[in-house]
Amino acid sequence: MSGADRRAALATLLLAVAALAVFAPAAGAQPRLEARDGALWLTALPPILAEESVDRQLTSGLTTGFVFTLEVERETRGAAQVEIRYELWDEVFLTARLEAGRADERRETVGSRPALDRWWRTLDLRLGALPAGGADGEVHLVIVPFSQAEEAETRRWFAESVRRAESTGSGDSASLGGGGGLDRVLTTLIGTSIRRRPLVEYRWAVEIPQATGNPEAPE
């Protein structure tokens, strides 16, 4: 192997390492739990917004939900939810987060996709009260592609579309099998298959930090 070849190989290797560093799968990164103000906070969220399936979903106009739960010994000890919806007219991201121990929903508007990534990286989510004594736990993230309201609205629209198709496009189908009864059953059966199913799920094993000072009283 000549010197030029060695240099080319080294450059290729360096490029590959750099690419791996930049595009490393989010599952490889770990979020972190912090004990602060007597509560448990989830910080340093992995860059999962860059994942192809999530990225595509974020700009769809539908509300993408990120549901975080903390499980310790198979019991849920904390939860938080983030919703991101891309407003197609204004071309901004509308975010909302609902955290344990907070009654109100915190909404923010993010102007661009890079800004959204930055917002995500700096996001601290309050999972709940700090459990007594340190332990190992698991953070479970479920990403759902649309909200409950969008689910309900699509079901309603679906049923309405079927009814409209029966009464206009194919008038004879209404007379088949009585039209109404069978169709209602079928519409219900098919309509209920429109459900919020996880787009993708992540699980991270985390260490729950020790409580320092007086733990925060439950709110």
Please give the residue ranges that form the binding site for another protein (CB under 8 A). 60-62, 88-89, 145-146, 150-151, 153-154, 157-158, 161-162, 164-166, 169-170, 173, 176-177, 182-183, 186-187, 189-190, 193-195, 197
- Identify the burial level of 5 via C-beta atoms within 10 angstroms of its C-beta, where 0-12 means exposed, 13-18 middle and 19 or more buried: exposed
Least distance (Å) from another protein to the CB of residue 89?
6
Task: Using the minimum distance from each CB to another protein, give the nearer residue, 8 or 182.
Answer: 182
Task: Using the minimum distance from each CB to another protein, give the nearer residue, 60 or 109.
Answer: 60
Task: Using the minimum distance from each CB to another protein, give the nearer residue, 81 or 187.
Answer: 187
Task: Using the minimum distance from each CB to another protein, give the nearer residue, 119 or 158.
Answer: 158
Least distance (Å) from another protein to the CB of residue 161?
6
Q: What strands lie across the sheet with 92-99, from one edge to the other?
A: 106-110, 92-99, 75-87, 63-72, 135-144, 200-208
Cα distances (angstroms) measured from residue 87 to each of 95, 140, 146: 10, 27, 14
CA distance 146 to 73: 30
Say if strands 200-208 and 135-144 run parallel, antiparallel, or are unpaired: antiparallel
Sorted by sequence, the CB contacts under 8 Å of residue 67 that are 6+ apart come out as 79, 81, 141, 142, 143, 144
CA distance 34 to 195: 34
Per the DSSP assignment, residues forming a β-bridge with 107 are 96
Identify the three-state secondary structure at position 68: strand
Least distance (Å) from another protein to the CB of residue 57?
9
Task: Using the minimum distance from each CB to another protein, give the nearer residue, 134 or 178.
Answer: 178
Least distance (Å) from another protein to the CB of residue 172?
8
Least distance (Å) from another protein to the CB of residue 186?
5
Identify the three-state secondary structure at position 84: strand
Least distance (Å) from another protein to the CB of residue 80?
24
Task: Using the minimum distance from each CB to another protein, give the nearer residue, 150 or 216.
Answer: 150
